[in-house]
Copies of this chain bind each other. A is one copy, B any other.
Amino acid sequence: MSKKHSTSQDVAELAGVSQATVSRVFAGGAIVSEKKKKKILEAAEALGYQPNAHARSLITRRTRMIGVVMRNIRNPFYSAVLEIFHNRLSALGYHLIFINSTNEEIQEKEISQLLEYNVEGVIITDALLSSSAALKFKRSEIAVVLFNRYTEQAGSSSVFCDNYLATKQIAAYLVELGHRSFAFISGPSDTSTTLDRLKGFEEVLKERNITDFMIEPGNYTYESGFKSAQELMTKNKHIDCVFCGNDIIALGAMDAIRVIGLRIPEDVSVFGFDNIRMGAWPSYSLTTWEQPVEEMIDGTIEILLNEINDSTAKPKTLMFKGHMVVRNSVKKK
Check A116 against B74 for contact (C-beta < 8 Å): no
Check A139 against B83 for contact (C-beta < 8 Å): no
Please state the number of chain copies in the assembly. 2
**Closest residue of B by beta carbon distance from A97:** B95
Which listed segment binds B: A53-61, A183-191, A300-308? A53-61
Contact residue range for chain A? 35 or more
Cα–Cα distance between A152 and B178 once the two chains are bound (Å): 63
Return chain B residues, CB-CB under 8 Å to A115.
50
A107-126: contact bitstring with B at CB < 8 Å (1 yes, 0 no)?
00000110111100000000
The yes or no answer to A206 lying at the interface (CB within 8 A) is no
Q: Could you say which of B2, B79, B281 contacts A255, with CB atoms under 8 Å apart? A: B281
Interface residues of A (CB under 8 A from B): 2, 4-5, 48, 50-58, 63, 68, 73-74, 76, 79-80, 82-83, 86-87, 90, 95-100, 102, 112-113, 115-118, 136, 139-141, 222, 251, 254-255, 258-259, 277, 281-284
Nearest CB of B to A312, in Å = 12
Q: A73-B83, A82-B73 are in contact. Are A140 and B52 (CB under 8 A)?
A: no
Cα–Cα distance between A282 and B225 once the two chains are bound (Å): 13
- Since A48-B140, A68-B98, A98-B98 are in contact, a sample of 10 more A-B pairs with Cβ atoms closer than 8 Å, ordered by chain A residue number, is A5-B118, A5-B140, A48-B136, A50-B116, A54-B118, A74-B79, A86-B99, A90-B100, A97-B98, A283-B284
Check A74 against B63 for contact (C-beta < 8 Å): no
Check A117 against B48 for contact (C-beta < 8 Å): no
Check A141 against B79 for contact (C-beta < 8 Å): no
